[in-house]
Amino acid sequence: MLTSKLSQLGYLVFGISGKKWGEFYEPSSVDVDEEGNIYVADWLNHRIQKFNAKGAFISNIGAKRNDFNLVDAGIRTSKKYQPGTYYKPEDLAIAPNGDIFVCDSLNNQIQRFSKDNEFILSWGPKQTIKLGYYTGKLYEPRGIGIDKLGNVYVADYGYHRVQKFTNEGRHLMTIGGKKTKNRRQFKYPVDVAVDLKMNIWVVDQGLHQVFKFDQEGNLLLTLGNKKPSRKERTKHGNFYEPNGIATDLVGNIYVADCKNNRVQIFDNEGKFIGSLGIDADNNKNTYLDSGYDAKQFRYPMGVAVDIAGNIYVADRKNERIHRFPPSLIKKP
């Protein structure tokens, strides 16, 4: 239960399990706009929900309530690629101009909406049963990030690569994918973020690592041991199936270390500077050390940071959203 002391510090938690508006069914991602509104990818309810800064439901993003015979749960229609409907949306991102980009994962596409919830465009859907490894195509995209210029970066999970696009879906660059001498090979990249210096940060779930690239796609830094042992994976700086990533205005990096049930925080050079959730640097099997109490997680999937430095976490198995003030970061 949320204590008055935590509330006074600025901590917020909201959400319960369910299908009504304002409820969640395994939320997978969270983001926040400049006005403090909170957006949640409500994964198994197949919808995007918008809340105010106090956690009160405002609206959904996408199809209107009565469009396409949608029910309150926001269940997808039988028509694939219908604008404003989704199939297991994994992530979303807010652009500098307020537009909302949704990673419509199992429809293999990105959908873009205005801040007033008007559909603008989409790209990437797989049109045939036979998959083709083509530039610009997407296969189960899991994560999305936007740089300060408005360019869009997609963690193309099924094709083991990150693709960069304009905000209209024109392909600009690929990192990873088919292994070549000068390309980093990913194993299931799940999220991507871009800092203000235009460095590209990629979370690789299969390798249990985080990579930093420059804007040309050159590898600069690697965080975490590849395939760490049970003892190693709980130490600060290592990960166990990490999933989400975010950056703040000073360049710090926040990683949703999913199966270690924590968020780890690093400076821009990869130095560990703090954590949220279970403090797992104790050689315990934190896969079992999940928590139900305030400030604890059961599979943190997504993370975001607002302009004031507050940290938002999508807590999948607890089916809720947390907001932490910077004062609650546990420092080493």
- Tokens 């049970």 found at: 230
pLDDT at 110: 96
Nearest C-alpha neighbor of 185 from the set 196, 175, 173:
175
127-180 pLDDT, tens digit each: 544 455 678 889 999 999 999 999 999 999 999 999 999 999 999 999 998 665
pLDDT at 181: 52
CA angle 93, 124, 203 (to 5 degrees): 45
pLDDT at 233: 84
Cα separation of 211 and 155, whole Å?
12
Cα separation of 185 and 238, whole Å?
19
Cα separation of 155 and 116, whole Å?
26
Low pLDDT (below 50) residues in the chain: 1, 65-78, 128-130, 182, 280-288
By the 8 A CB rule, do 224 and 239 touch?
A: yes
CA angle 63, 143, 220 (to 5 degrees): 155
pLDDT at 194: 98
**From edge to edge, which strands make up the β-sheet containing 219-223?**
189-194, 200-204, 209-213, 219-223
pLDDT at 2: 54
**CA atoms 211, 253, 241, 201: torsion sign:** negative
pLDDT at 65: 46
Phi first, then psi, for residue 326 (nearest 5°) are -60, -25
pLDDT at 135: 84
Cα separation of 212 and 221, whole Å?
5
Instruction: Enter the tokens of residue 229.
Output: 């042992």
177-209 pLDDT, tens digit each: 866 554 558 999 999 999 999 999 999 999 999
pTM of the model: 0.91
